Chain A
């Protein structure tokens, strides 16, 4: 056990920090075009697709180097690159499951943000029970014809392509009849409608597919393998960004302590109140425990081990933590925490929301409700932990009849 960073890692961190100091734009990019400019700068700096093979435009970097870059970006409050799902989910899926032609055709353009991506998984009636999805892809000889509706599609508005899960065989048990496709979003059969969330902004969309077309060459993996592929891609959403996430929380936490020194109640600063100190002390302990967890995950990744179901523990822990953190922030800030506009500078928070506008404490609080729902709700994670780590017996489920 040695939790010091190696001299190489320390040197690399310094190099990244220097690059960021010289290149982070002084005013955050607001429009998609401005974000793409920043995105390309990051790409040219060698900070995107870090874990992808070099022959497809990646860097072939170690997990630790990826974590350091993400962490330094969080510390420098550098804007995130655009095309997050392309970088985070679609690219890694193509790297692992795509064929040579698909890798050459798609990967580079994800890295340069020439082609923007979204993920077409969830449906109105298939949330936690994703495998029950109904969108169909019918084999028409030279192509597949897609019909159905997707929901919770991040970045659907700007996407050129979508990573699609669709049912290709309705006769076999539900987990076996799903196939994974790359579908062009720029076609008449695809309609995208923004979906306004409780934050008031619309990061998500609904996508309606009516006789939409998917070329045969854009099928990922074999027919009926889509569920297995989706399960590995859900894993990509966890792990690599772990350290950066914690540094983001830490920056917000220090803002909160600053606010607690300024705000007063009963004639004295909140930071002098024992109950506030207890709450803040507990949150810092929880936050640091999440950082230690991230270091454990990084250790595994560095050894070439996949966290597997352990990723469910990490996700459950940090997403539940984020809710507790944001609740405490609201308790401390009182009505100031609810301001979406007009907060005094020393009480305001500026966080990146990935839709071009800056977030507030109010936004962070509302957004914290998403983490325990997306990418497998906390309840789903607990089922996975119970069955796959603790080996508890599976519950009898109505949909498993004949499927196994």
Chain B
């Protein structure tokens, strides 16, 4: 039993902190918020060089062969920096379905390309309904020649505008299947939408009989549900790690401010109204840390409670990070409400991740199903 990071994990975290402190300062984040693509190629290249983009892939596919705990550490640092870019989309949403369910040929084609940064992937997990339960997918896949024709509307597809391929769940005669789709191909149309978090980009994807070949099917026909669920759990934990990073950054800023800001002739950190708020924020942050790294370890180790641990993690951290980032604004007062001050970057990042890969309500229902069958 050891719930602490190894020396190598600490080293990885420190090197991630160092790289992002240097190359992902708030000025960079703000520049990317105004950028058309929304992320910078030079930093993307640096991340590829450091092995982050293939972090969970086996070495034979150009990966680093590391686990979810390491991946969560990187995500926490990205949340802390409000890193703008398709990291989670490409590595987690794109990489894991291929890693978990792809053919040898698909792995050889895509995993080294993701790891080297040459290709960016994402997945289209949401439709009109608000949950992301694979059981509710309505997009259809009809047999067409050797391949398939896909029809349906996907919402909030992260970083689709820069993706070379999207993992698309669709329902065919055999059941739910996963397909690799070129978002710029015939029958596919992307329409960017703008959310309040400008460090995350979303698009709507319309598929109108979009044709894909037989080699676009990831896993067995009808076997998409399991791959999708595994991927969603990993995405939920990585997103939680980002929210944790955003929350910790917000807490650090609030505490730092409480140590220098004076009102009524005293530092505001001397007031219990502020100090107790900060203590509660720390409690939320530490609880979130426990939830994130327990779930990351459980998924990696294939622990019995891995699935419910992922839901516990996402439901807990979604609310906790929102609270901490929000309270940091409250501690700052008026300055925290300005565009110029950086707090809103983390507040909005946490908010945008809160609704992705299942919000707290969705995951609490999964937890209820688990305990109902266990009690």
- Write out the residue numbers on chain A whose beta carbons fall within 8 Å of the beta carbon of B279: 316, 381-383, 385-386, 390
Given contacts A271-B372, A391-B259, contact A293 B286 (CB under 8 A): yes
By beta carbon, the residue of chain A nearest B2 is A2
B126 CB-CB contact with A under 8 Å: no
A2 adjacent to B312 (CB under 8 Å): no
A293 adjacent to B4 (CB under 8 Å): no
By beta carbon, the residue of chain A nearest B1 is A5
B196 CB-CB contact with A under 8 Å: no
By beta carbon, the residue of chain A nearest B375 is A257
- Write out the residue numbers on chain B whose beta carbons fall within 8 Å of the beta carbon of A104: none
Q: Mark A65-105, 1 if CB is under 8 A from B, else 0.
A: 00000000000000000000000000000000000000000
Given contacts A277-B365, A285-B315, A386-B276, contact A316 B283 (CB under 8 A): yes
A286 CB-CB contact with B under 8 Å: yes
B367 adjacent to A284 (CB under 8 Å): yes
Contact check: which of B3, B275, B280, B316 meets A3 at CB < 8 Å?
B3
Given contacts A64-B1, A393-B270, contact A313 B303 (CB under 8 A): no
- Write out the residue numbers on chain B whose beta carbons fall within 8 Å of the beta carbon of A261: 372, 375
**With the chains together, A281 CA to B375 CA distance in Å?**
13
A23 CB-CB contact with B under 8 Å: no
Given contacts A278-B365, A285-B316, contact A392 B3 (CB under 8 A): no
Given contacts A382-B276, A390-B282, A395-B270, contact A277 B1 (CB under 8 A): no
Count, chain B residues at interface, CB 8 A: 54
**With the chains together, A383 CA to B277 CA distance in Å?**
10
B2 adjacent to A392 (CB under 8 Å): no
A31 CB-CB contact with B under 8 Å: no
- Write out the residue numbers on chain B whose beta carbons fall within 8 Å of the beta carbon of A284: 312, 367-368, 370-371
In the assembled complex, the CB of A214 is this many whole angstroms from the nearest CB of chain B, namely 37
B266 adjacent to A396 (CB under 8 Å): yes
Given contacts A285-B367, A317-B283, A390-B279, contact A254 B375 (CB under 8 A): yes
In the assembled complex, the CB of B197 is this many whole angstroms from the nearest CB of chain A, namely 25
B1 adjacent to A302 (CB under 8 Å): yes
B375 adjacent to A258 (CB under 8 Å): yes
B5 CB-CB contact with A under 8 Å: yes
**With the chains together, A1 CA to B276 CA distance in Å?**
31
- Write out the residue numbers on chain A whose beta carbons fall within 8 Å of the beta carbon of B365: 274, 277-278, 281
B47 CB-CB contact with A under 8 Å: no
Contact check: which of B2, B5, B267, B312 meets A288 at CB < 8 Å?
B312
Give the residue among A277, A387, A396 with the most B Cβ atoms within 10 A. A277
Given contacts A3-B2, A293-B286, A296-B290, contact A392 B371 (CB under 8 A): no
B278 adjacent to A1 (CB under 8 Å): no
A2 adjacent to B1 (CB under 8 Å): yes
A282 adjacent to B364 (CB under 8 Å): yes
In the assembled complex, the CB of B330 is this many whole angstroms from the nearest CB of chain A, namely 16
In the assembled complex, the CB of A252 is this many whole angstroms from the nearest CB of chain B, namely 11
**With the chains together, A302 CA to B1 CA distance in Å?**
9
Stretch at the interface among B18-26, B111-119, B201-209, B292-300: B292-300
Q: Mark B305-317, 1 if CB is under 8 A from A, else 0.
A: 0001101100110
A4 adjacent to B301 (CB under 8 Å): yes
